[in-house]
Amino acid sequence: MRKVIVIIVLFLFNKGISQELFLLTDPASNVPANSLSVNVLQSLFKEKFKTGNSYQLMPEVTYGLNRNLMFRALAFLSNRDKDFVTEGASLYSKYRFYSSDDLNSHFRMAVFGRYSFNNSEIQQEEIEIMGNNSGFETGIVATTLIKKLAVSSTVSFEKAFDNKRNYAFPDNLGDNATNYTLSFGQLMYPKTYTSFKQTNINLMLEFVGQTINENGRSYLDVAPVIQFIFNSQARLDLGYRHELMSSMTRSAPNGVYFNLYYTFFDLKK
């Protein structure tokens, strides 16, 4: 009986939120309770002010404490300083405080917070505590699912600190920013669910932007993504991020993502 219940939960989980498992942003939905997700995100971005590409590896683990609260830890590794080294780490938590569920739709809201530390040289005006700056971020996210279309949006405040190893944040740059995202996810396959073992194919389009609060300088990026979900547990994402507009200095705004993700369900069984 327990196995039957787990299969039903997996099927509903797959059917309900597979198209809102975004690559660059987190939806208001959480990792299922008592489940552990392991994620390995890789990116390769073209350097703007020097020759070559910047490769970054971000392994992470996420644990769902209950249906409303989850925790995440991740590390940043990069070759930006020629040698491939560990540059920092981050802790993240998200709490879902509102949920309205219907048969073919739902709407959810959550608040989140992140703290990161980094020991690399500060090379750009853009604030990015996911791999470039030490600092914190806090914000709110809202996600809606209507049949096979998911739409999610976030607004957050981000503040940068000095990076370790004597890399002080430059006095001539703004150290805090407002971030905003808008993500769309469309389930393309299957047309009809018959088993939780069916492969899902999702197409996504994500917009990611930032405005430095002290001087108003901004950027806006777009990222098309194709996503495959296997057996309701394994996930593969391929994405390309492109700068649409920018009035700030960014060291490597354009590049590709390759992401591998696996969830271990019901750890307390």
d(CA 31, CA 176): 29
Element (H, E) at 122: none
| Number of C-beta neighbours around residue 100 at 10 A | 10
Q: Which residue has the tokens 């005006």?
A: 125
Complete DSSP assignment for 133-174: -EEEEEEEEEEEEETTEEEEEEEEEEEEEPBTTTBPPPTTS-
pLDDT digits (tens, 9 = 90+) for 217-253: 999 999 999 999 999 899 999 999 999 999 999 999 9
Q: What is the pLDDT of residue 18?
A: 61
- Partners of 237 in beta bridges: 227, 259
d(CA 168, CA 165): 9
Triad 77, 80, 83: Cα angle to 5°? 75
User: Is a pLDDT exceeding 60 seen at residue 8?
Assistant: no
Q: Which residue has the tokens 């690399």?
A: 120
What is the Cβ-side half-sphere exposure of residue 205, based on CA atoms within 13 angstroms? 2
Longest dimension (CA), the chain: 63
Average pLDDT, the chain: 91
CA-derived radius of gyration, the chain: 19
User: Is a pLDDT exceeding 90 seen at residue 206?
Assistant: yes
By percentage, how much of the chain surpasses pLDDT 70? 93
Q: Which of 157, 163, 156 is nearest to 134 (CA)?
A: 163
pLDDT digits (tens, 9 = 90+) for 136-166: 999 999 999 998 999 999 999 999 999 987 8
| Number of C-beta neighbours around residue 136 at 10 A | 18
User: Is a pLDDT exceeding 90 seen at residue 268?
Assistant: no
pLDDT digits (tens, 9 = 90+) for 49-65: 888 899 999 999 999 99
Q: Which residues contact residue 65 at a Cβ distance below 8 angstroms, ignoring those fewer than 6 apart?
A: 33, 71
pTM, rounded to two decimals:
0.91
Q: What is the pLDDT of residue 47?
A: 93
Tokens of 267: 């750890």
How far CA 107 is from CA of 18, 101, 145, in Å, comes to: 15, 7, 7
User: Is a pLDDT exceeding 60 seen at residue 7?
Assistant: no
| Residue 66 CA, distance from chain mean position | 20
> What is the mean pLDDT of the segment spanning 71-97?
94
By percentage, how much of the chain surpasses pLDDT 90? 81
Q: Which CATH number fits domain 2-264: 3.40.50.740, 3.40.50.1110, 3.40.1190.20, 2.40.160.40?
A: 2.40.160.40
Identify the band that residue 3 occupies on the pLDDT scale cut at 50, 70 and 90.
very low
d(CA 226, CA 215): 35
CB-neighbour burial class of residue 52 (10 A; exposed 0-12, middle 13-18, buried 19+): exposed
pLDDT digits (tens, 9 = 90+) for 89-125: 999 999 999 999 888 899 999 999 999 999 999 989 9
Q: What is the pLDDT of residue 19?
A: 66
The residue ranges of every structural domain in the chain are 2-264
pLDDT digits (tens, 9 = 90+) for 11-39: 444 444 566 789 999 999 999 999 999 99
